[in-house]
Amino acid sequence: MPEPVFFPKAGALTLGEIADLAEAALPAGADPQAEIDEAVPLERAGPRSLAYMDNPSYAEALAATAAGVVLVSKRFAERVPAGSLGLVCADPYRVFAAALARLHPSAVRPGSCFGAQGVSHGALVHPTARIEHGATIDPGAVVGPHVEIGKGTVVCAGAVVGPHCRIGRDSAVSAGVTLAHALVGNRVILHPGVRIGQDGFGFAMGPRGHVKVPQIGRVIVQDDVEIGANTTIDRGSGRDTVIGEGTKIDNLVQIGHNVVIGRHCVIVSQVGISGSATLGDFVVLGGQVGVIGHVTIGDGAQIAATSNVNGDVPAGARWGGTPAKPVREWFREINAVKTLASRRSFAKDDGA
């Protein structure tokens, strides 16, 4: 039995098209109509392959590659083998990604689980829902009353879109997603198992028990956001929970009620953000970072993996540790502890 092809090729790319993507000039004598069939790592590349290199760790792989075309930054241009054509560009990885998207467009976002187009007979769509022509609703998907779904959006099998939700155009709601009390923009990708719009964790606690506080806010997911598998985003209690334009969220992230995340942030797996925290634009949170409620992390700040943020972080700062603090201060503390531990160990050994 032949192996399945999960991401079929849309066709070849010419050298001229690749040069346009890279905003680079082809070397003299290069044929702009010559075709490249695939984009692959350096070690797998052949004469009709495109590869890239922007990291010194792969210098040996670059020297040994048989790639027809290699995207490189200026610093590595002289290391491209004689048998390969080197295209110098400012960001080789970004250009490689763009070429991959041209070659394999079906890998850019999730598609129908059933290979369906339009509203499938097995979908449960409320008669008051408004589905634009060109949207796809898979068998087994549930679309509630007064929902609006835009052209080019796919709602996969097992997904549930609750009453009054709105989803823009060219978005993807993957299998098993639940969406409630939410407004979702254009070109948004929700990976399998994402949960958006459920109750925030709000209780008035006391000695006679804990009284549930109704959560009456929404979740607003702006354009070009991508949210990884099994991530949960609670709706606001009074104000809205907001995920800003272009933000990318990994798998297994928990975002509490009233959190506001700015534009183009990057949030890595297993991060937990407590209620009413605010992140500015272009913030980066490494894996397993914990953020307590009601703090503000300024624009462009970066928090190292496994750190705990328990106070406001200035814009542009690089913090790490538990509790998080400026990286240089954190490193000094680590080195001081190492030195102290070494001295104690030496003294004990010497005494013995």
Cβ proximity of 47 and 68 under 8 Å: yes
Which entry of 121, 146, 210, 257 is annotated as an active-site residue? Answer: 257
The neighbouring-strand residues paired with 266 are 248, 284
Query: Does residue 139 have a cis bond before it (omega within 30 degrees)?
Result: no
- Rounded to 5 degrees, what angle do the CA atoms 178, 122, 120 make? 90
For residues 12 and 31, give the distance between their C-alpha atoms in angstroms, rounded to a whole number: 15
* Catalytic-residue membership of 126: no
Q: Identity (one letter) of the amino acid at 266?
A: V
* Residue 334 φ then ψ, to 5°: -60, -45
Q: Which residues carry out catalysis? A: 257
